[in-house]
Amino acid sequence: MTAAGAMNAEHSNNDDKRRVQIALVLTATFMVVEVIGGILSGSLALLADAGHMLTDTMALTLAAVAFGVSARPADSKRSYGYHRFQILAAFVNGLSLLLVVGWILIEAMRRLMSPQDVMGTTMLIVASAGLLVNIIAFIVLHGGDRENLNIRGAALHVAGDLLGSIAAIVAAIVIIFTAWMPIDPILSVVVALLILRSAWYLVKRSAHILLEGAPEWLDQDSMQNRLVERIPAINSIHHVHVWGLTPQHLMLTMHVALKDSPTDATAVVRRVKAILREDFGIRHSTIEIETEDCADH
């Protein structure tokens, strides 16, 4: 990465951190309001959305901390640095969402069997205010780096909150005009399913990275074929491993077998690294050059 690229990356990281902090203040403040409104109105939909906002507050807090920790330089104990902390934060956030889903579903079933009165007007006022707050928070996060898993995870949380507020508004309107109380737990289940979708996405993506999985978009056969076609000195490529500290920090190791003709091995390595960097965004690669049989066989 060039000095300019490093400065741009640092600026993007600082901008993303600031956006997360703004969304955190908005979400945490209104979460308290929504809990009070849910208790006063007796609305499970509001309490379910407040539960979602609680996990959002946790998610945004972890995301903000992760931006700070991941910026710490590498040391003797963490030779790759602290980038992976962002992924750990995303994984924890996903698991916490699953717990909230379980609570909402259990409470919804209980209320469907024994409906409770809900104050529709109070519920409508609180849910409408929540919708406005969530729209502002989503716009703030949507302007960040969309390839950053922390930003994407935070935006998904807030998007789920936004839809939860819409569900609560719909439930309040139905209760005000029809007094049909089951709509409240029914729509709380809808909110829970929205949370479940976000939770599964976060857990799946973060677990894939923690398990050193290759980027989903990368076709390794196509990558190897491109290297062989564009660098005539290469005979074959094997022992390829690709993973990421984060989706933005990809790593690669590979063995490159050269043809018999005299070849400048250093020039080949530089060319391979340039193609990996420019065509695939892989900036950290370790290339083992072979002129005879593979030493690992």
> Does one domain contain both 230 and 156?
no
- What share of the chain has pLDDT > 70, as a percent? 90
Domain of 265: which CATH number? 3.30.70.1350
> Which residues on adjacent β-strands are paired with residue 255?
238, 288
**Residue 295 resides in a domain:** no
**Residue 215 resides in a domain:** no
**pTM score of the predicted model:** 0.71
**Residue 228 resides in a domain:** yes
User: Residue 7 — pLDDT band, cuts 50, 70, 90?
Assistant: very low
∠ CA 204-210-213, rounded to 5°:
75
**Residue 296 resides in a domain:** no
* Model pLDDT, residue 146: 57
Domain boundary residue, one of 149, 182, 210: 210
Domain boundary residue, one of 160, 178, 210: 210
* Model pLDDT, residue 251: 94
> Does one domain contain both 167 and 271?
no
* Model pLDDT, residue 93: 76
> Does one domain contain both 204 and 147?
yes
Instruction: Give the model confidence (pLDDT) of 125-136 as tens digits.
Output: 888 888 888 888
> Which residues on adjacent β-strands are paired with residue 256?
237, 289
Kindly state the average pLDDT of the residues 52-64. Answer: 75
CA 72, distance to chain mean position in Å, is 20
> Does one domain contain both 67 and 94?
yes
> Does one domain contain both 155 and 258?
no
Domain boundary residue, one of 210, 229, 252: 210
* Model pLDDT, residue 150: 64
Token representation of residue 211: 């398990």
Q: How far apart are CA 263 and CA 245, in angstroms?
A: 33
**Residue 283 resides in a domain:** yes
Q: What is the average pLDDT score of the chain?
A: 81
Token representation of residue 129: 């205010």
In this predicted structure, the answer to whether residue 98 has a pLDDT above a threshold of 80 is yes
> Does one domain contain both 241 and 178?
no
Instruction: Give the model confidence (pLDDT) of 147-173 as tens digits.
Output: 566 677 677 777 777 877 888 888 889
Kindly state the average pLDDT of the residues 249-259. Answer: 93
* Model pLDDT, residue 123: 80
Token representation of residue 15: 């901008």
In this predicted structure, the answer to whether residue 5 has a pLDDT above a threshold of 60 is no
**Residue 240 resides in a domain:** yes
Question: CA torsion 53→59→60→62, rounded to 10°?
Answer: 150
> Does one domain contain both 235 and 179?
no
Domain of 202: which CATH number? 1.20.1510.10
Q: Please give the residue range of the domain that contains residue 229.
A: 220-290
Q: How far apart are CA 136 and CA 27, in angstroms?
A: 10
> Does one domain contain both 233 and 177?
no
> Does one domain contain both 239 and 184?
no
- What share of the chain has pLDDT > 90, as a percent? 22
> Does one domain contain both 194 and 94?
yes
Kindly state the average pLDDT of the residues 229-243. Answer: 93
Q: Which helix (H) or strand (E) holds 281?
A: none
Please give the tally of structural domains in the chain: 2
Residue 167, CA atoms < 13 Å, CB-side half-sphere = 28
Give the neighbor-by-neighbor strand order of the sheet with 234-246. Answer: 234-246, 249-258, 284-290
Query: What is the three-class DSSP state of 258?
Result: strand
> Does one domain contain both 26 and 120?
yes
In this predicted structure, the answer to whether residue 117 has a pLDDT above a threshold of 80 is no
In this predicted structure, the answer to whether residue 6 has a pLDDT above a threshold of 60 is no
- Identify the DSSP state of 144: S
**Residue 236 resides in a domain:** yes
What's the sign of the alpha-carbon dihedral 52, 19, 205, 159? positive
> Does one domain contain both 204 and 274?
no
**Residue 74 resides in a domain:** yes
Q: Is 246 left (phi over 0), alpha (psi -120 to 50) or beta?
A: beta
User: Residue 72 — pLDDT band, cuts 50, 70, 90?
Assistant: confident
Q: How far apart are CA 156 and CA 55, in angstroms?
A: 12
